[in-house]
């Protein structure tokens, strides 16, 4: 049984000091995307790569073949970190230790059929199509009883360890709520209880009043580097109206939100005229059945670079202590991005 081999290698373990779950997914060591080397994106990529797992018509490691899709294409991850196949009856750990099944669903979203076309360079309608795909996936996964949170994210660039150049994001739909989201949800409820106002609305009010840290804005959406930013180019993209999750955006809001999202991505690439690496995470309310009406959906970018070849290393304060030491001033970095051209340098 393949499952037996996974016992002790694929499970969730409770970290009693941090009070959070750790996903142990050591069964994935040989996943095919990890060791692959590719060019950094400086060299032009083909529109279709016969060796790519995401290109239309190609065969994946699972043996399944991708259809000749257009638009975004979603499939279950062939090497999931959480999934229904994770071992159920785990041997009990020693003493106070706790573990449980790493139940959930891991998916991959190819942003489109083109191997070489990033979100920054796609047609606006294709970005809207992706936001629509996020909405559909969130709504569908939220209904599943075993799913308490839907984490959607994109790791982009070799600086964040991504060897697969085909533009894509991922979904980890898990049986627990990721720590950052749990903290944001608690802070939002606490703020509402104390002030009778929504926390994120108060953040937007301060940012829009200051204006200095705004990167882009339209009628219903805004992008900014918050006053409390931790990374040099830590941009938040948010709708102006409070909706707890991406599925709550109206069709008109999707258009505005997509436009601002793309403006951020274009400016990122224009900054050093190179494909800009980042971790992008959608902060959606949990799906565990509680009331999250105070939670305000937004996207956070965590770009690892401060300069073209200068990584923001997470070191003593960040990893050792858990608090950030920021080396840059948010309004200066926001002004840098705001002043850049609104069309992509390769267009
Ligand atoms: Zn591809
Ligand atoms: Zn957030």
Mean pLDDT, rounded, for 314-331:
93
pLDDT, residue 30, reads 59
* Comparison of pLDDT for 35 and 98, the residue scoring more: 98
pLDDT, residue 31, reads 59
Of all ligands present, the nearest one to the C-alpha of 151 is: 2
- By percentage, how much of the chain surpasses pLDDT 90? 83
What is the distance between the alpha carbons of residues 107 and 83, in angstroms, rounded to a whole number? 10
What is the distance between the alpha carbons of residues 44 and 58, in angstroms, rounded to a whole number? 20
pLDDT, residue 96, reads 97
Per-residue pLDDT reduced to its tens digit, 131-187: 999 999 999 999 999 999 999 999 999 888 887 899 999 999 999 999 999 999 999
* pLDDT value at 38 more than 60: no
- In the block, tokens 């003593």 appear at 316
Mean pLDDT, rounded, for 270-277:
95
Distance from Cα 33 to the centre of ligand 1, integer Å: 12
Within 8 A by CB and 6+ apart from 332, the residues are none
Q: Report the range of poorest mean pLDDT among 88-92, 158-162, 262-266, 337-341.
A: 158-162
- With contact defined as beta carbons under 8 Å apart, do 261 and 284 qualify? no
Distance from Cα 200 to the centre of ligand 2, integer Å: 9
- Which positions are catalytic? 168
Distance from Cα 168 to the centre of ligand 1, integer Å: 9
pLDDT, residue 27, reads 79
Distance from Cα 114 to the centre of ligand 1, integer Å: 7
> What is the maximum span of the chain, computed from C-alpha positions, in angstroms?
61
Distance from Cα 299 to the centre of ligand 2, integer Å: 7
Domains of the chain, first to last: 2-174 (3.30.428.10), 179-339 (3.30.428.10)
Mean pLDDT, rounded, for 316-333:
94
pLDDT, residue 43, reads 62
Mean pLDDT, rounded, for 196-223:
98
Per-residue pLDDT reduced to its tens digit, 292-313: 999 999 999 999 999 998 888 8
- Characterize 196-232 residue by residue with b for buried, 16 or more Cβ atoms within 10 angstroms of its Cβ, and e for exposed: eebbbbebbeebeeeebbbbbbeebbbbbbbeebbbb
pLDDT, residue 163, reads 76
Q: Report the range of poorest mean pLDDT among 79-93, 178-192, 267-281.
A: 79-93
**What's the pLDDT band for 281 if we cut at 50, 70, 90?**
very high
- With contact defined as beta carbons under 8 Å apart, do 12 and 21 qualify? yes
Q: How many CB atoms lie within 10 A of CB 28?
A: 14
* Secondary structure (3-state) at 109: strand
**Mean pLDDT for the chain?**
92
Residues lying with their CB under 5 A of ligand 1, a single-atom ion: 49, 52, 54-55, 115, 166
pLDDT, residue 14, reads 95
Distance from Cα 236 to the centre of ligand 2, integer Å: 8
Of all ligands present, the nearest one to the C-alpha of 297 is: 2
Of all ligands present, the nearest one to the C-alpha of 52 is: 1
* pLDDT value at 78 more than 70: yes
Of all ligands present, the nearest one to the C-alpha of 234 is: 2
pLDDT, residue 68, reads 96
pLDDT, residue 79, reads 86
* pLDDT value at 284 more than 60: yes
């Amino acid at each position: 049984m393949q499952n037996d081999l996974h016992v002790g290698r694929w499970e969730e373990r409770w970290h009693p000091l941090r009070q959070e779950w750790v996903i142990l997914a050591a069964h994935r060591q040989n996943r095919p995307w990890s060791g692959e080397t590719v060019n950094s994106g400086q060299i032009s990529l083909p529109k279709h790569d016969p060796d790519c797992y995401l290109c239309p018509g190609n065969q994946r490691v699972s043996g399944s073949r991708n259809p000749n899709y257009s638009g975004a294409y979603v499939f279950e991850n062939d090497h999931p970190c959480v999934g229904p196949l994770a071992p159920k009856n785990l041997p009990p750990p020693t003493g106070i230790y706790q573990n449980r099944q790493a139940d959930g669903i891991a998916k991959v979203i190819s942003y489109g059929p083109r191997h070489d076309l990033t979100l920054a360079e796609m047609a606006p309608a294709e970005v809207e199509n992706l936001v629509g795909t996020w909405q559909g996936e969130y709504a569908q996964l939220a209904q599943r009883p075993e799913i308490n949170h839907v984490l959607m994210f994109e790791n982009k660039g070799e600086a964040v360890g991504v060897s697969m150049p085909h533009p894509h994001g991922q979904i980890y739909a898990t049986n627990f709520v990721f720590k950052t989201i749990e903290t944001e949800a608690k802070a939002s409820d606490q703020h509402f209880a104390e002030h009778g106002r929504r926390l994120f609305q108060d953040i937007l009010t301060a940012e829009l009043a200051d204006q200095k840290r705004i990167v882009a804005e339209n009628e219903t959406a805004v992008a900014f580097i918050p006053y409390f930013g931790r990374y040099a180019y830590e941009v938040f993209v948010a709708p102006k109206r409070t909706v707890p999750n991406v599925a709550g955006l109206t069709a008109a809001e999707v258009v505005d939100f997509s436009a601002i999202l793309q403006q951020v991505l274009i400016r990122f690439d224009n900054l050093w005229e190179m494909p800009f690496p980042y971790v992008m995470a959608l902060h959606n309310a949990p799906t565990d059945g509680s009331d999250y009406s105070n939670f305000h959906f937004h996207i956070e970018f965590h770009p690892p670079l401060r300069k073209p070849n200068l990584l923001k290393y997470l070191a003593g304060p960040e990893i050792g202590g858990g608090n950030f030491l920021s080396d840059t001033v948010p309004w200066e970095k926001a002004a840098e991005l705001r002043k850049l051209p609104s069309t992509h340098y390769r267009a």
